[in-house]
Amino acid sequence: MRQVGLLLLGVVLAALLGSVAVSAGSVRQLLQAQLQQKNADNAQSLALALSQQQGDPALMELLISAQFDTGHYQRVRWRKANGELGFERVAPARASQAPAWFVALLPIEVQPGVAQLSSGWNAIGTIEVQSHSAYAHDELWRSTRRHALLLGGIGVVAGLVAFAILRRIRRPLDNAVAQAQAVIDGSFTTVEEARVRELQPLTRAMNAMVLRIKSMFEAQSEQLQVLRQQAHADVLTGMSSRKHFIAELDSALSRDEGPAEAGLVLLRLRDLAQLNQQLGRPVVDQILVAIAHAIKVYPERVQGCLAGRLNGADFALWLPAPGVAAETAQALAEALHASLPAFGGGIHVALGAVDLPRERPLSSWFGEADAALARAETHPGFAIESVRTPPRRSQGERAWRAQIEAALKERRARLVEFPVLDRAGRLLHLECPLQLRLDPQGEFEPAARWLALRSRLTAEVDLLAVALALEAISADGQPRCINLAPASLTDGSFVARLRELVFQSPPAARKLSLELAEGAAINQFDLLQELGRQLRPLGIKLGLEHAGAGLSHVERLYQAGLDYVKLDVAVVAGVSGDASRAAFVRGMLIMLRSLALKVYAEGLVDAMDVQALWDCELDGVTGPWATQRGAAA
C-alpha cells in the first residue's frame, strides 16, 4: 500500500509538472507570436506615417519619438538608404520581475519588425521596431504561477480522494493483519467481509481459517477432557481417583489462600461384598453412581470443593469452609436415605465428618476422618459421626483484623522468594508470597494465618505485595511474581490503584508478573480480562496458578489475555510413572501452546517427574526441587 501511495503521488506530481510545463511553453509560444506580429504591424504602420513626411528629418524624428513613447519598445531605429543611422530611440535596461532561472529556462526571442520608407518613388531607408521582452516574461511568469496554483489545488483534491480510496482498500487488509495477529495471540475473531471485490476472497478465507482453528481448539479441549477422565477419574463414577484426590487435597492444604479451617467427609457403602451377592454387580454399580451424583453436587456448586472415590466402597468430600462438615454429612445421609432404598433392601451408608485447621498434615486429616468413620460403622443404618477441632485463636476477629491493618499500615511485611526455573536452570521469575509480622516483636507469618480473606483486606495486602515487588525489582533487576487474590478483583478501586502504583515504576513493571488462581478464570472471567486490558500494555505479565482440569471449562480462555499458566501439583505429580497422566499433561501443553501461552508446573519434588515434564517440553518448573537447585546454583 505504501508503494501504491508513492506511485500515485509520483503520477500526480508528474502530471502537475507536465501540465505546468506544457502550459508555460504554450503561453511562451503565444507571447512570442504576438510580439513578432506586434513588431511587424507597428513597423508597417510607422513606416506608412514616416513616408508621408516627404523625407523631412525633423518630422520623422518627431513621429518616431511619439511612437516610441506610446508603446513598450526596447528600440526603434531609422536607417537611411545608404545604411547610415538616421535616428534611434533605445529604452533603458529593465529587469524582468520573473526569476532569472525562469527567464533562462523559457527565453523569449523575437525578431524586430522591419519596413521600408519612401518619399514618392524614392527609397529613403528602413524602420526597425523591437518590443521589450521583459514585459512578456512578466506576463509569462504570472500565467505560469496561476496555472501551477490551480493545478496544485486540483492535485491536492485528487490526492485526498486517492488517500480516502486507499484507506478504504487498506481497511480490510489491516483487519486481516489484526485477525492473523489475534490468532498468534490465541484469540479467534472474525471480521466483516470486505466491500472491495478483489479483497472479499481474502476476508472469507481468513474467517474460514479462524473458524477452523477455533474448531480445532475446541476439539483439543474435548480430547483433553477424555484424557483427564483417563488420567484422574474413576471409570465408573467419573469422580477423582484416590491418587488424584489425595494430590488435590495436599495441594489445597499447602496453599496460603483459603480459610483457616475446613472439613472432610468420608462416606462408605456398607457391606459391599454382601450387596454384590444379594443385588448383583450391575445394581451395586448403579448404587455407587447414585452416591457419586449426590456427592458431586457440592464441587459443582461450591468453588474449591474436592470429591473423589477412594476405593470400591469409600468416597471423600473436602469442604473449604469452617464448621460445615457435620451439616454436609447429615444432608448427604438424608438424601441417600431417601434415594437408595429404591435399589433394594439392606443398603446403608456410614459417614465420618471432621473439621480441622488447614495447617494440620494430610495424614492427620485422614486419620481423624477414618476414626470418625469407624465409629459410625458401629451404629446401624445411616450413621454419622463428626468431630470438630477448631483452630486455636488467642483473640477475637475484631482484634485480629486490627492487627492485620496495623501490620499493613506500618509495612511490617516481607516477600519470600521461590524460583521458577527453565530446563537450563535459568531463572524465569521469583514467586513471592507475602508474609506479615502481626506482632511487632513476633515472627513473620504466612498468609494462611492472617485470615485475610475473612478480614476483607485482600486488596490492601495485594497492593502492598506489588509495591514491595516493584521495589525489589528496582534494586536487583530480577523478575518477580505476585499472587493476587480473586477477591481483590471485586474491589471496584483495586485495578485503578494497582495501575497507578505500577505507573510509578515503569522499568520495574516490565519485570513484574501477576497471577491468580484458576478459579478467577472460571468465576470472574470478565474481571480477569479487564485486568489484562489495563496492565498488559504496561509490560506486566498475567498468569494463572493452580491450573488443572478447570481450564477446559473456560470457554473463552483464548480471550483472557494471559501470558502463562502454572499447572497444579495435583496434575503433574507422579507423571513419570503414569502414562495416562503424562498423556493428559501433553494434551494440556498442546492446548495451551495453541493459545501462545507459556506453561509451567508448580510444587514439584521428584526429579523423575521434572525430567518427564522436560520431555513434554514444559517451559519451567517451581517447587522444592527448583528451590534446592536454585540454592545449589
Q: What is the pLDDT of residues 516-573, one digit of tens each?
A: 988 888 888 889 889 988 998 899 999 999 888 777 666 667 777 889 999 999 889 8
Please give the Cα distance from 571 to 579 (Å, whole number).
13
CATH 3.30.70.270 segments of the chain: 243-388
Mean pLDDT along residues 265-284: 92
**Matching CATH number, 243-388, of 2.60.120.10, 2.40.110.10, 3.40.50.20, 3.30.70.270:** 3.30.70.270
pLDDT > 50? residue 452: no
In sequence order, what are the residues at sequence separation of 6 or more whose Cβ sits closer than 8 angstroms to the Cβ of residue 498? 462, 463, 466, 535
97-134 pLDDT tens trace: 888 888 888 888 888 888 888 877 778 888 888 888 88
Note the CATH architecture for domain 2-156: 2-Layer Sandwich (3.30)
pLDDT > 80? residue 278: yes
pLDDT > 60? residue 272: yes
Tell me what percent of the residues of the chain surpass a pLDDT of 90: 31
Average per-residue pLDDT in the chain? 85
pLDDT > 70? residue 582: yes
Angle value at C-alpha 545, between 614 and 393, nearest 5 degrees = 130
385-402 pLDDT tens trace: 988 775 555 456 677 778
Per the model's pLDDT, the better-predicted residue between 153 and 514 turns out to be: 514
Cell 524602420 found at? 127
CATH 3.30.450 segments of the chain: 2-156
Most confident of 248-252, 319-323, 617-621: 617-621
Please list, residue by residue across 507-522, b when 16 or more beta carbons sit within 10 angstroms of its beta carbon and e when fewer do.
Answer: ebbebbbbbbbbebbb
The CATH classification number of 411-632 equals: 3.20.20.450
- Within 394-457, strands assigned E span 413-415, 418-421, 427-431, 434-436
Is the whole-model pTM more than 0.85? no
* Contact assessment for residue 231 and residue 552, using Cβ atoms and an 8 Å cutoff: no
Distances 502 to 241, 462, 466, 476 between C-alpha atoms, Å:
44, 13, 8, 17
Environment class of 120 (CB within 10 Å of its CB; exposed 0-12, middle 13-18, buried 19+): exposed
Query: Of 1, 91, 74, 64, whose CA–CA distance to 35 is shortest?
Result: 74
In the structure grid, which three cell numbers stand for residue 527, read together?
A: 474481571
* Contact assessment for residue 133 and residue 104, using Cβ atoms and an 8 Å cutoff: no
pLDDT > 50? residue 315: yes
In sequence order, what are the residues at sequence separation of 6 or more whose Cβ sits closer than 8 angstroms to the Cβ of residue 151? 16, 19, 20
